[in-house]
């Protein structure tokens, strides 16, 4: 039996009134903005991105609160190139489709030392992120990403728990929103050609298949030990491959490797764009 005591408070009444408004708005175009306000009142995040993922296609942006001056760094670069290294994107690709998950729970062991983290998160002043995952169609997952900056209140364990408690209801509402509004986005989502080929073709003239696999893991934030575990090889073998990778690509640091990779992704994206 569920105790009625928590439901008899003023805070509970206010929450259920907000929830009723969200239910009524779920089928309309104003739902994402109302969801933003509701979640902000609940956990006080700094940034919000609502992206839709389908297979290897580029994410489709549904809603955000980024100021114009931060859109190129925070959105355009992410959607055009950086998403390939995003732990949330990989989690969806690996089958995650429900619940609230913190960035550090999904990221590789050396993610915060990676060039991607500094290029994307540090540049925006973000130190933490939580994602609400919801499967809204057979092969479509919507992720509501909440970002937290270093100069504002952090995501607390209590706030994370609150998000996880309300997640089942919000997942259903996101599904309802997609059912009524998804047709507006489906054509645009289909137009977003995957640039997964960028990983497969990066350095293919000089690198072996194994070396390209290691490049992908290192760029995503895996340590030597973690990459070795992923590929079921020894740490020493990864180190030898990494040395050969740097020599063959004529780079001397992780930052140079990252920059070379982003340039390659941009080239592939332009080629696919015709």
Separation CA 88–CA 94 (nearest Å) = 10
Separation CA 73–CA 123 (nearest Å) = 8
* Structural domain ending residue among the three candidates 138, 172, 190: 190
Residue 10 lies in a domain: no
CATH number of the domain where residue 72 is located: 3.30.450.80
Mean pLDDT of 135-156: 92
Mean pLDDT of 236-246: 96
Residue 181 lies in a domain: yes
Q: What is the pLDDT of residues 228-239, one digit of tens each?
A: 999 999 999 999
Range of the domain at 69: 28-190
SS3 content of the chain, % helix, strand, coil (to 5): 60, 15, 25
Sheet strand arrangement including 126-137: 60-64, 47-53, 140-149, 126-137, 98-102
Q: Choose the most confident range, by mean pLDDT, from 5-19, 69-83, 112-126, 204-218.
A: 204-218
How many structural domains comprise the chain?
A: 2
pLDDT value of position 36: 97
* CB 264 within 8 Å of CB 202: yes
Residue 197 in this model has a pLDDT that exceeds 90 = no
Number of H helices, E strands in the chain: 14, 5
Residue 58 lies in a domain: yes
Q: In terms of domains, do 73 and 37 share one? A: yes
Q: In terms of domains, do 118 and 227 share one? A: no
Q: What is the pLDDT of residues 100-126, one digit of tens each?
A: 999 999 999 999 999 999 888 888 889
Q: In terms of domains, do 132 and 203 share one? A: no
pLDDT value of position 239: 96
Mean pLDDT of 187-191: 70
* Structural domain ending residue among the three candidates 165, 190, 215: 190
* pTM, full prediction: 0.90
* Structural domain ending residue among the three candidates 164, 190, 216: 190
pLDDT value of position 72: 76
Q: Choose the most confident range, by mean pLDDT, from 6-10, 151-155, 194-198, 217-221.
A: 217-221
Q: Choose the most confident range, by mean pLDDT, from 55-69, 73-87, 180-194, 219-233.
A: 219-233
Mean pLDDT of 244-267: 92
Residue 73 in this model has a pLDDT that exceeds 90 = no
């Amino acid at each position: 039996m569920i105790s009625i005591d928590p439901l008899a408070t003023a805070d509970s009444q206010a929450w259920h009134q907000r929830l009723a408004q969200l239910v009524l708005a779920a089928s309309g175009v104003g739902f994402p903005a109302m969801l933003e306000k509701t979640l902000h009142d609940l956990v006080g995040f700094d940034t919000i991105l609502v992206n839709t993922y389908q297979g290897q296609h580029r994410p489709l942006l549904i809603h955000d609160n980024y100021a114009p001056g931060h859109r190129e760094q925070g959105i355009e670069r992410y959607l055009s190139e950086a998403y390939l290294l995003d732990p949330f994107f990989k989690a969806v690709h690996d089958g995650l489709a429900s619940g609230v998950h913190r960035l550090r729970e999904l990221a590789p062991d050396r993610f915060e030392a990676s060039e991607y983290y500094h290029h994307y998160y540090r540049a925006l002043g973000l130190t933490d992120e939580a994602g609400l995952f919801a499967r809204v169609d057979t092969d479509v997952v919507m992720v509501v990403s909440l970002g937290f900056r270093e100069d504002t209140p952090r995501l607390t364990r209590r706030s994370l728990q609150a998000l996880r408690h309300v997640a089942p209801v919000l997942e259903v509402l996101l599904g309802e929103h997609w059912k009524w509004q998804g047709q507006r986005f489906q054509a645009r989502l289909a137009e977003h050609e995957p640039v997964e080929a960028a990983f497969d073709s990066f350095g293919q003239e000089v690198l072996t298949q194994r070396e390209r696999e290691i490049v992908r893991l290192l760029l995503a934030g895996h340590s030597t030990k973690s990459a070795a575990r992923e590929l079921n090889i020894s740490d020493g073998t990864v180190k030898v491959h990494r040395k050969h990778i740097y020599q063959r690509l004529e780079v001397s640091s992780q930052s140079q490797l990252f920059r070379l990779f982003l340039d390659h992704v941009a080239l592939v994206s332009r080629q696919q764009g015709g």
